[in-house]
Amino acid sequence: MKELTAEELKQIQLNILKHVAEFCDVNGIKYFLCGGTLLGAIRHKGFIPWDDDIDIAMPRKDYVRFFELYDNTNGRYRADSLENNPDWHLSVGRVGDLNTVLYDHVLKEKYANYHAFIDIFPVDGVPNNSVKHKILLYCQKLLSTLANASSFSYSASNHFSDSKEVNINLKNNIRTCIKYILITLCFPFSTKKIQRLVNFIAQLTSISESNMVGLTTYVWNWKFEVLKKESIDKFVLVPFEDSEFYAPIGYDEYLSSTYGDYMTPPPKASQVSHHNFKVYWK
């Protein structure tokens, strides 16, 4: 099999996004760019140059409806989530290109193979009470750590390899030891059951009863990606590569809370993709 170049991978992901966006428009399903994809759209009008993935989000009702309806609309793309695939092992959904094969060497063999994909995150309510917010945050972080450890293979950590820190080899070795201990301790746990619990807990706070909403199945840098509920009442089209896609009307608030001064690129040392997978033409 021939490995895809970075540019080929980006084009495939962009084509998936176009098809998903068109499907959502036809079926009245709300979606918006999120995470680094939204940041790329606003700062670069496309992919962040050193990034190679696409993330979108949907309010929970739209998310569920999308995964109920999307499959079989195109022979090339397949949608997977806990809502439509009993064997799915993630708390978020994906749409993959069946003409490609992806291999992620840090995962156990049964989870390592998929396709070039885009991630789709459900948006749920965030508790208005600050104590309940923190309880939800730490609970989801703990469960996600257990789920990750139960799905990982015994592969060395290279987390610090692209940094300018001192003692890089020592830090990677320490991180690898911690990783191996967690993998061993979590071996008996079912990844799929833990992720289903993460997904269930995320839905305990509905959007209708919350002032804030967010991607509460996913904890990044010890916080949720959140924005005001009214920020997803309306959407605006923003340029991304050769097309336009929807962003929440409150994208500035969302990006500021997630990335701080988001219009200033990070130092050169941080401008590196940390993905562990390789993608091939089928």
Express each pLDDT in 61-107 by its tens digit: 999 999 999 987 888 999 999 999 999 999 999 999 999 999 999 99
**81 token code pair:** 């989530």
Q: What is the mean pLDDT of residues 251-265?
A: 95
Given a cut of 90, whether residue 258 has pLDDT beyond it is yes
Residue 211 DSSP SS3 = coil
Out of 43-47, 50-54, 92-96, pick the least confident: 50-54
Looking at residue 1, its pLDDT comes to: 84
Q: What is the mean pLDDT of residues 207-216?
A: 97
Burial class (CB in 10 A: 0-12, 13-18, 19+), 97: buried
Q: Is the distance from CB of 249 to CB of 235 less than 8 angstroms? A: yes
Q: What is the mean pLDDT of residues 10-35?
A: 98
pLDDT range class, residue 158, cuts 50, 70, 90: confident
**14 token code pair:** 């962009």
* Residue keyed to tokens 């001064």: 261
Looking at residue 52, its pLDDT comes to: 85
* Residue keyed to tokens 């965030």: 126
Looking at residue 12, its pLDDT comes to: 98
Out of 39-48, 107-116, 163-172, 179-188, pick the least confident: 163-172
Spatial distance between the Cα atoms of 148 and 92, rounded to a whole number of angstroms: 13
Spatial distance between the Cα atoms of 138 and 185, rounded to a whole number of angstroms: 19
Q: Is the distance from CB of 196 to CB of 144 less than 8 angstroms? A: no
- Mean pLDDT for all residues in the chain: 93
Given a cut of 60, whether residue 161 has pLDDT beyond it is no
Given a cut of 90, whether residue 268 has pLDDT beyond it is no
Given a cut of 90, whether residue 276 has pLDDT beyond it is no
Q: Nearest to residue 13, comparing CAs of 43, 45, 42, 56?
A: 56
Cα dist. 85→15, 187, 218, 270 in Å? 23, 23, 19, 36
Looking at residue 167, its pLDDT comes to: 75
User: Would the pTM count as exceeding 0.85?
Assistant: yes
Question: For 163-250, where are the alpha helices, taking DSSP H only?
Answer: 168-185, 191-202
227 backbone dihedrals φ, ψ, rounded to 5°? -160, 165
Q: How far is CA 84 from the centre of its chain?
A: 18
pLDDT range class, residue 270, cuts 50, 70, 90: low
pLDDT range class, residue 165, cuts 50, 70, 90: low
Given a cut of 60, whether residue 14 has pLDDT beyond it is yes
Given a cut of 80, whether residue 160 has pLDDT beyond it is no
Q: Is the distance from CB of 123 to CB of 214 less than 8 angstroms? A: yes
Given a cut of 90, whether residue 159 has pLDDT beyond it is no
**66 token code pair:** 């999308």
**229 token code pair:** 């509920």
Cβ count near 91 (within 10 Å): 26
Q: Nearest to residue 278, comparing CAs of 77, 8, 39?
A: 8
Spatial distance between the Cα atoms of 77 and 29, rounded to a whole number of angstroms: 18
**250 token code pair:** 């409150």
Given a cut of 90, whether residue 56 has pLDDT beyond it is yes
Out of 24-28, 64-68, 217-221, pick the least confident: 217-221
Spatial distance between the Cα atoms of 115 and 96, rounded to a whole number of angstroms: 5
H or E element, residue 40: helix 35-43
Residue type, 167: N
Residues in CB range of 237: below 8 A, 6 or more apart: 244, 245, 246, 247
